[in-house]
Amino acid sequence: MKHFAREQQWADWLRAAMAGDQQAYQRFLVAVTPHLRAMARRRCDQFGAPKGEAEDVVQDVLLAIHLKRGTWDPSRPLGPWLTVVVRNKLIDSLRRRGRHVEVPIEDVAATLAEETGADTTDHMDAERLLEQLKDPQRDIVRSISLNGAGVRETAARLNMSEGAVRVTLHRALKALAAIYRSDMQ
C-alpha cells in the first residue's frame, strides 16, 4: 500500500515535470536517487568495486531517465516503465565497466519499493567532466550545477536568451550522457 502510494506520488511529480514544473522534477529525481544508489552499490559490492563507481552508475541511470522520460506515457503507471529503464541502464552501465551482471527485474522493482536513507559520494571529477564539454555548454553547466544559478540568471550573465540557454542545457545533458558512455569503454 505504501509502495503504491509512493509510485502514485512519483508519477504525479514526473507528470508535472514533463509539463514544465521544475520543482516537481527535482522532487522526483531526489526521491528516486537513493533507490538507484542502493541498487548500484549492491551490484558494485559484489565485484568489490569502489563506492565512487556506484555513484557513476547512479548518474548514468539518472541521465537515461532524464533523456528518455518522453517515452513514458503519462496515462500509464510509472512503475513498469521506471523498472525497465533502470534495469536496462544498470546492466548496460555495469557491463561497460567490465562487470558482467544479471539483474533480475524483481530485484529492481523491490529496491524501488524499499525505504532508503540518503547519503552521497561523488566520483567522476566535475572539472574533468566539464573539460570535455564545448564552450557555451560548459559555461551553462558550471553556472547551473556548480554555482546554483537558475536559467534566467545564467541567461542574463552570459548575454543569451533563456530559450537559447535551455536548448544548450538540453544538449549539454545529452553530451554528458555520451561522455559517461565513452568514458567507460
Partner 1 sequence: MKTDDLIRLMAEDAPVRFPLGRRVGLALGIGTVVAAVLLLATVGLRPNIAAALETLRVAFKVTLTLLLAVTAICLVLRVGRPDASLKPIGLCLLIPLALLILAMGLELTAVPSAEWSSRLVGVHAAFCVFCIPVLSLAPLFGLLAALKHGAPSNPGLAGASAGLAASAIAAAIYAWHCPDDSPLFVATWYGLAVCLVTATGYGVGRRMLRW
**Contact residues for partner 1, defined by CB under 8 A:** 17-26, 29-30, 33, 55, 58-59, 62-64, 66-73, 76, 80-81, 83-85, 88, 120, 122, 124-126, 129, 141, 144-146, 148, 150-151, 166, 169-170, 172-173, 176
Longest Cα pair distance anywhere in the chain, in angstroms?
50
- What minimum distance in Å lies between the beta carbon of 74 and partner 1? 8
Closest CA to 166 of 178, 152, 176, 148: 152
**One-letter amino acid for residue 31 of the chain:** A
Nearest residue (CB) to partner 1, 110 versus 124: 124
Query: 101 vs 178, which CB is nearer to partner 1?
Result: 178
Kindly state the smallest distance separating residue 17's Cβ from partner 1, in Å.
5
> Which of 17, 49 has the CB closer to partner 1?
17
Nearest residue (CB) to partner 1, 88 versus 99: 88
Query: Smallest distance, Å, CB 118 to partner 1?
Result: 10
Q: CB 5 → partner 1: shortest distance, Å? A: 20
Annotate 130-167 with DSSP letters as a single string.
HHTS-HHHHHHHIIIIIS---HHHHHHHHT--HHHHHH
Q: How far is the CB of 158 from partner 1 (least distance, A)?
A: 14
Instruction: Give the nearest distance from C-beta 22 to partner 1 in angstroms.
Output: 5
- 69 versus 99: smaller Cβ distance to partner 1: 69
CA distance 151 to 92: 32
Q: How far is CA 21 from the centre of its chain?
A: 17
Question: Closer to partner 1 at the Cβ: 98 or 171?
Answer: 171
